[in-house]
Structure 1
């Protein structure tokens, strides 16, 4: 009999719109390869960009927040594993899973650390360093409590693993480093990519609803692009992304070569047409999917320390530019110098091969899941803080949900 996995999604996966959507599809692919029968449930409304999970054999179920119908649903399904997509879904549904299916393994996919992103965004607004004053926010308390209530949390970045272990003293037993899972790219496939002389223009891409992306777009418009355009008057910047609002579209200026292109149906196509990706990300967390898309398509990029966090350990790389002038000058040099362009292109392939091999990380995750399933009781006994947070006197989300449920009935 197939093992059952229930994924409770914060949103329905949109792999063409966001890195989070791509990440979710990678996890689904892994569990399918392990023989799991997968049900994806979400209380979120579907968008036109949502992937049709039925086409890959994943059942879709719409669920309600603060409603007893979920209790009947999970009792009937009896999953072996539940995967919470971000801590907010664990807050809403975790206590119901524990109450009705206490033997089910509970996994949390953080996507990125929401509290870290929030801390960096506020520090950026305050023009300040990210200190504990910013890190120890209310979101941190909620997100880390969720990690303790789960059996294992999937962390996408080495930098975030380090923060959780060193600053917040979370035990290794509750964390598992699982970055983007990248298929090996063959030399034959690499040889088919367009070369330096066959590409033109600059590119940026990212969901415009994501605040770090919108901030980077404004930074490009107001500061970066002017400096590049002065040195490369024939160049254009093609800005792609899902959910372009009126305020985004108003940034379009054909005369300046600053073009809002909107949703990209095929990210690989637009990457391979472009010569350089610009990603001046000034705050955020997690891994940046746009940089992985660039490396997988042989497209060199210019980014910031925040942008490359968890991807490049060395801070002395020329393509890591936190200063506007440095960013502009390196982007122009990369665009014009074929030897520099080819060197960074090769570096990108090396990074993917050596640091993000799908087969290597899937093997480690497989072993971790097996160990959990073999001795779940002992694992939970060692997580006393998690036991405290499961105790009924501390389950504020449970009683808030029941209050809302009673109020709505």
Structure 2
């Protein structure tokens, strides 16, 4: 499909006249490409991108968004339009979207392209305009996530696929003017591979301090959240319910576990019972975070910054996580998180903090402080540094 897209562009009508009235000529223009319009309440990657778009508008950019699926998914499409974002859609088909992009290339200063496969498809297209500065947003390093899963599952086939992805991601990073990771850990991994101009742009979070705090003694249960189209989340909840929670229930009794998140598949739905609640997508999950005693993140593989961890920190909800789950947020065991990587240790951490109000209060207090570097104001400063660096070259 990607070769067809490129060949169409090569023969496209790039000399056609287009009306640029929707662009403020006094501002620079950034093109953003992702799989679809960010459904910011369903995945951490979409939440991050939606917050970035708002920051770009605050930084006085013209913003053009191209969803690769070409759909005006609602209410998210209207939300972008309300931010004065130009959205390129299939109208009536894919060629119309690509034709409009082709005509807009001369007006674009930066192209922020998410994920490796979209960069493979669109880097050659956008670079037809030599002045466009391409930013490769890795979202997470796919090859790292795959290698960790392959190691966890002892899967040689997946390991070979991961190494192919590594070659692709490194080449895309070399082609781009800048490469973005969400954690300093991944930035250092790329720099070890001699990739230059790597910048950290993390997930973005606001503090959600409630008017009335529910005390330790009145809270009950554990909560997890994650989109179940993402394999690491499926593995996490299966490990939690099948291996970890029997040990916890044996010590504490049948406390409830809430497995929140969109698109639960059959594997996840089968975990549901009187003590394991799988409600599916919920627009406002705040009541779960405000009433639960602990957030659990038993991720055995994955990469990048985990939005679920940041979401828990927003509410100051104490977290029990694996090392991989807590990666990239500078969290410290027994200061602002509890970390364990084996099922017995993970269960023991839950059992301990569930009964220890003093420890729970300490972790909760420190959780708020740990998220200061991920507010919109902090991330805006990181973006200013990125664009200043690009403009100086």
Shorter-chain TM range is 0.7 to 0.9
1:119 correspondence with 2:142 = no
- Name the counterpart of 1:179: 202
Match of 1:159 among 185, 210, 214: 185
Partner residue, 2:316: 298
Structure 1 counterpart of 2:353: 334
Q: Is 2:222 the partner of 1:202?
A: yes
Task: Map Cα deviations across residues 290-335 of structure 1 (whole Å, 9 max, x no partner).
Answer: 1111111011111101111111354676711001111111101211
State how many pairs are aligned.
362
Q: CA 1:210–1:50 in 2, change beyond 3 Å: closer, same or farther? A: farther
**Aligned equivalent of 2:246, options 226, 236, 261:** 226
The answer as to whether partners of 2:70 and 2:90 remain within 8 angstroms in 1 is no
**For the Cα contact (< 8 Å) 1:14–1:21, is it kept in 2?**
yes
- TM-score of the superposition, structure 1-length normalised? 0.82
| TM-score under structure 2 length normalisation | 0.85
Whether 2:43 is the aligned partner of 1:7: answer no
Q: Post-superposition shift, 1:22?
A: 0.9
SS in 1 for 2:76: coil
Shift of 1:50: 6.5
Closer/same/farther in 2, CA of residues 140 and 63 from structure 1, 3 Å limit:
farther
**Residue ranges of structure 2 left out of the alignment (5+ in a row):** 1-25
- Find the aligned partners of 2:29 and 2:90 in 1 and give their Cα distance: 18
How many Å apart are 1:71 and its aligned residue?
5.0
Q: Give me the whole-angstrom Cα distance separating, in 1, the residues matched to 2:73 and 2:94.
A: 26
Where does 1:301-380 land on structure 2 (aligned, <5 Å)? 301-312=319-330, 314=332, 319-353=338-372, 355-375=373-393
Query: How far did 1:370 drift?
Result: 2.4
1:117 and 1:280 map into 2 onto residues whose CA distance is 15
Q: Is 2:57 the counterpart of 1:37?
A: no
Q: Which residue of 1 aligns with 2:82?
A: 55
Distance in 1, Cα, partners of 2:47 & 2:97: 30
Shift of 1:249: 1.4
Choose from 285, 299, 306 the match for 1:281.
Answer: 299
Cα RMSD (Å): 2.6
What is the SS of the residue equivalent to 1:204? Answer: strand
CA distance in 2, matches of 1:180, 1:22: 8
- 2:288 is matched with 270
Q: In 2, distance between residues paired with 1:303 and 1:103?
A: 44
CA contact (8 A) 1:295 1:348 kept: yes
Question: Are the aligned partners of 1:16 and 1:49 in contact in 2 as well (CA < 8 Å)?
Answer: no
Distance 2:161 2:212 in 1: 45
Consecutive unaligned residues of structure 1, counting only runs of 5 or more, are: 376-409
Residue 93 (structure 1) aligned with residue 122 (structure 2): yes
Which residue is equivalent to 1:259? Answer: 277
Task: Compute the displacement of 1:283 (Å).
Answer: 0.3
| 2:63 match: secondary structure | strand
